[in-house]
Amino acid sequence: MLGVAGGIAAYKAVEVLRGLTESGHDVTVVPTQAALKFVGEPTWAALSGQKVATEVWASADQVPHVRLGQSADVVVIAPATADILARATHGVANDLLTNTLLTARCPVVMAPAMHTEMWVHPATQANVAQLRERGIIVLEPASGRLTGADTGPGRLPDPVAIVDAVRDVLRRRPTNDLAGVKIVISAGGTQEAWDPVRYIGNRSSGRQGVELARTAVSRGAHVTLVAAHMQVPPPAGVTVVSVSSADELHAAMHEQSADVIVMAAAVADFKPDAEAARKIKKENLKGDVTLELTTTVDVLASLVHQRTGERPIIVGFAAETAESPEHLLELGRSKLERKGCDLLVVNEVGSEDVFGSAENQVTILGADGSLVHVDRSSKAAVADSLWDLVAPRLQP
């Protein structure tokens, strides 16, 4: 069921509907009367191929205000205005959409869209927090151009990203075992400047970090994604902090408050000893060029060192080239001991295409001596395997 509230972003919900129907799902659209001021009933009916549900009193013999919620596999509200968030929080049932929310026993995904002042208002933030505590997935809005000249957080997440979030909910049927958990994930690869044009970097695309973030959101977590030069867009529902270098990543990770930290970003191990203020001209260089390097800050080790007590749970990643599976485990266990993190995700990057691929094969090592091998599968499945190990460790 796709609920559409009365905001200007209702026109973008048309793309959400198209994405869901093209994925093979049967979608019943339930727009509010205010939403119909923006997009008319014929549009919803034509694109869904279903009769549009608009009134509590229509088809009363079928009791739609109860049936729609009971029969849905997932309820998606896009856009979710400040008004619908408030009414959902307090159990107000004064139209078909809010009646349906009260009867739904399936996962509920809400994609907020409103002006920045409305989103940051303490009342809205309190409502969002309460909804999330109940297990409702409230995506973080995007930041960008709003109506008129206004710019800021409150923009509806990209419709494709909303559809991806819904697919993930349907794929896994989450139990919200990460509901309310604050998770910070780093993704992508840092770049260390040599001059204003050139840099030292790595081949990380950020795809695994993005899948970690997306699956964590689908399990109810509040996710901050610290992104370094990713080649894939961030998922809907996360707060994005953009960084470039290892030093910037180090600072950003230490500024976050979290229950769980996942260092999935590929941090460049070296950086030029000095950065030239201007582009180094090739014609000014004679013969071989020597570039003096120095090591970058060890972000993972510094996060472990800063921790007091058992929180946050810290997860590291190790991309290794190994001579054999036994050698890979040896390298992983050695790094786990050096870094001191709780879990280490080890993958071999020499034998198969890992960087930028949609699939991965990993071994997850625990500081408690545990070992879980995940056969080659989608990076979303790898992410869920990691969260399956993290969730129990969050219990008292």
User: Would you name the residues annotated as active-site residues?
Assistant: 202
Query: Residue 275, class by beta-carbon neighbours within 10 Å (0-12 exposed, 13-18 middle, 19+ buried)?
Result: middle
Please list, in sequence order, all residues whose beta carbon lies within 8 angstroms of the beta carbon of residue 148, skipping any fewer than 6 positions away: none
Return the number of other C-beta atoms located less than 10 Å from residue 4's C-beta. 32
Which stretches of the chain are assigned E, i.e. beta strand? 2-4, 29-31, 75-80, 108-112, 137-138, 142-145, 151-155, 182-188, 192-193, 199-200, 222-228, 238-243, 260-263, 270-272, 293-295, 313-320, 343-348, 359-366, 371-378
Pairing of strands 75-80, 313-320: unpaired
DSSP symbol at 52: P
Complete DSSP assignment for 193-223: ESSSS-EE-----SHHHHHHHHHHHHTT-EE
Q: Is the dihedral of CA 129, 222, 215, 338 positive or negative?
A: negative
Would you state the structure tokens that stand for residue 13, as one six-digit string?
């919900």
Complete DSSP assignment for 299-337: HHHHHHHH-BTTBSEEEEEEEE--SSHHHHHHHHHHHHH
